[in-house]
Amino acid sequence: MRVKKYTANTMNDALLQIKEELGSDAVILNSKQIKKGGIFGLFQKTQIEVIAALDEQPIPEEKQPIMHETKQTTHTPPPLPFETKSSDQHQVLEEIKQLRQLVASKTFQGNEEFTGSLNMLYQYLLDQEVNHDLAKMLVRDFEETLTDPTIIDEQLFKQLLQTELQPLVDQAPLTQRKVIQFVGPTGVGKTTTIAKVAAKMMLEQQKKVAFITTDTYRIAAIEQLKTYAKILDVPLEVVYTNDDYEQALVKFTNYDHIFVDTAGRNYREANYVSELQHLIQMAEGDSVTYLVLSLTAKASDNDTIYNIFKDVGIHQVIFTKADETTTYGSMLNLCLGENAKVAYLSNGQNVPDDLVEADAVYVSNMLLSGYDHA
């Protein structure tokens, strides 16, 4: 059996190479997308790598012995070709023949939802950790707009994404509310995000703000917020009980906005979520609750976190650490899968500069920033 590997820009190009060199009897053993070229990992080009094979010794057909009608005597026919060797060899060759037929019938169909360039787009969305059903739906919708499925217009797909995202991403942050609460798991950059939003409002809108923290489980979190409070010259109250929280809200009545940093604990603890829900309800009315999530977390984890916290009463989501990853599928999963509304994107540590209001154009450009269908 002759086995050879081929590399091409598209599946059709690879199949043409295989047919030209190995002929139409060749079978595909494996195929995958690869990255080639580029400088230091940048500007890499996506290609198709295909392994094909050709059985150069086809299975001989069994020959029947010639019966001479003129002779009445019977004789034992000579053994068939395979019988002269062994029954095991005959079985192996038959299995190879069946396998070749099976592989040929399923070439590039078994695990692929689409063909050609559309499949490359679909695989790219999966690499971005967009969930399978959502990725499939987006590419199907996009396919319906194409006059030629072999020609992929990236701008048209961006427009499709922007149209889908616009009602959920082009949302003005609810920073006109008096009490602005931030919730989320540990390590997502919640405290730094609070400082960014507060500084932005102080500088751009000349608002008078105050800080409250209920995160008494981590000394470092308190010290970090104290540092930001000192830099911004705003008051800070550390509260340990619900009564302390109520008193702090009363104390800061004359301030335009009260920023609340809640405890970042294990979101899988039911008691913690229940306590957090009660705390948030104490400030109901003129309040907004932001869920802070990190884009460096797995998309499936962010889906789980959102579904746990949404019962607390989430108004909008803030995504952090956009500068520390190239995978942005979480935004699509939550916006289009869960109807989550996005307020801000944090893309650095600088306060308050590295904070942008989310919009559909910005998010779609981020998501497709690594896509190269050429």
Q: Which residues contact 51 (CB under 8 A, 6 or more apart)?
A: 3, 4, 5, 6, 28, 29, 30, 31
Q: Single out the residue of 126, 264, 243 nearest to residue 191, CA to CA.
A: 264
Averages of pLDDT over each 10 residues, the chain, 374 residues: 81 83 78 67 70 68 50 50 52 62 45 76 92 93 81 85 89 85 89 92 92 79 87 92 90 94 71 76 83 94 90 90 93 92 89 87 90 64
- What secondary structure does DSSP assign to 231-294, as a single string? HHT--EEE--SHHHHHHHHHHTTTSSEEEEE-----TT-HHHHHHHHHHHHTT-SSEEEEEEEE
Q: Is 348 in a helix, a strand, or coil?
A: coil
Residue that is written with structure tokens 């996009």 in the block: 142
Q: Which two tokens stand for residue 134?
A: 């959502």
Instruction: With H, G, I as helix, E, B as strand and everything else as coil, classify residue 147.
Output: coil
Q: Please answer whether residues 1 and 93 qualify as being in contact, where contact means their C-beta atoms are separated by less than 8 angstroms.
A: no
CA 2, chain centre distance (Å): 39
Whose tokens are 């392994």? That residue is 51
Residue reference for tokens 């319906």: 144
Q: Note the pTM of the prediction, 2 decimals.
A: 0.68
Question: pLDDT value at position 134?
Answer: 94
